[in-house]
Structure 1
Amino acid sequence: MINEFITYLRDTKGKADNTLVAYRRDVISFEKFLKNHSGRELAECKESDSIAYILDLNNDSKSKATINRKLSSLRTFYDFEIEAGALAENPFAKIKSAKNDKRQIEFLSIDEVEKLLALPDQTVKGIRDTALFEFMYGTGARVTEVVRLKFEDINLKMNFVTLRDGEGESRIVPLGSYAQRALRKYKDTAYSGLSRTEVTDDSFVFINFRGQPLTRQGIWKMLKEYGAMIGIEDRMTPQILRNSFAVHILQNGGDLKTLQELMGFDDMSVGIAYLSVTNIRIKDVYSRTHPRA
């Protein structure tokens, strides 16, 4: 496979000799990785292998430029194999290049989340805020999904919620016991004190004292105010709470595919970034995802 690929690059694409050497080296390096960690051949590569490889490069502290070059080589290699009819899908297609200006993912510790969740009081506002924070942390929902949430989207009998992105896409996410209890209490004891009306399926879930749905800016400000109470105002945002959901799942043995379904991201590089900050070694990922690990 590799020799045919290099011939194609030289004769059809007119690549220079030093470029051909780099392509060959990158593909051979990945081939060795596959054999050592999963026992697969190049033609048997799965998306999970490509994810594992990028994680391995990150663990070896490879520069973003090096990782991006290897990604480019392997994408090109598998595109060639698809055109040749050897494969149906490119296992590197969903992994985007690393951005040099990408910031380190910030997240809260479990202890910090527990402190946040313990802050709201038992007033109408406090009960709402508890439900809001338990929901955000318990589902990993985007703040844009939170402000759109209606009671018709929540099934407290079956313990799941439908999250909608506003562009016609939706996903179903389970509701944990803490979020369930907080939402029930909010609906039964506090909601009418905010809305002054009866709850209907079409009612927005999280509202202010005027009965209007909370805004993204309102939730952001609310988190900042609570964060200031425990000294983490700078690290308390809706995105950081979503990040915390992701990292804590991975730290407790969750896998990337499940996380992708829960959080609704298409680019697997997002999942790789979450996994990188959990300090989970690549062998631990393989022990859970590969039968021949």
Structure 2
Amino acid sequence: MTYLHQFLEEMTASRKMTRSTLHAYEGDLRDFYHFFKDQPVENVAFPDIQNYLLTQKHLAPSTVARRLSSLRQFYTFLIANGKIKENPFSFVRMTPYKSKLAPLANPEDVTRLLEGAQGANSAEGKRLSVLLQILYISDMSVNDLVSLPLAVGLVVSKGRKKFLTFHKNNLIVPLTKAAHDSLQAYMKVRNHFLIRNQESPWLFPSSSQKGHLTRQRFGQLLKELSLKMKLDPVDNSLYNFRYNLRKNKELERNFGDD
């Protein structure tokens, strides 16, 4: 799999890709290699690809679209390195994938989710409330949010600051009263999430391999809240929630009171 490793190294070096996207591309290519384990990938032709695609029918259209994209790019890499002369995937055509992203922002859903989390009395509810409040007021990525260090929360909870300072990206997030109150409330129950009462360097500790709440688990919690609030969990997935927040901010800038 020398070509695969070289391709992934080049993708890492030349493209601003998230780790999850890179892992997805690697999984796509390993699946392809496994299918053609008795045939060198540089000898794969269009008829072979047709047979391969027949085995992909059970996958979601979005997954197939991403897989085709990663394979096209892989074969473009092989051409650039003189291993093949033409890209067999250039002959593949697929019905355009229609994204499930909400086409318009839904301020009411965002507000209901914030209020629903804020009204929860459990430790899990208080954690979700502060996560959503910080997302709401900042442009912080979800990965950065779930991996905030404990020191960030301690400074705020002791009343010394009314903003988050995240030195990793030189990011300063002024806290609204709702966000500040949510963080204060969460810090009082944070010990609930410690594993065997062992202290953690993370603001949002968990039993995950990373030691902190993961993006995936955050997405699951948001889905559970959406169902509880009788909202569509697809329209209010973590990705769409971020999308709606951005759209809401654009609407406020473009159509707000002068």
Compute the TM-score of the two structures, normalised by the length of structure 2.
0.49
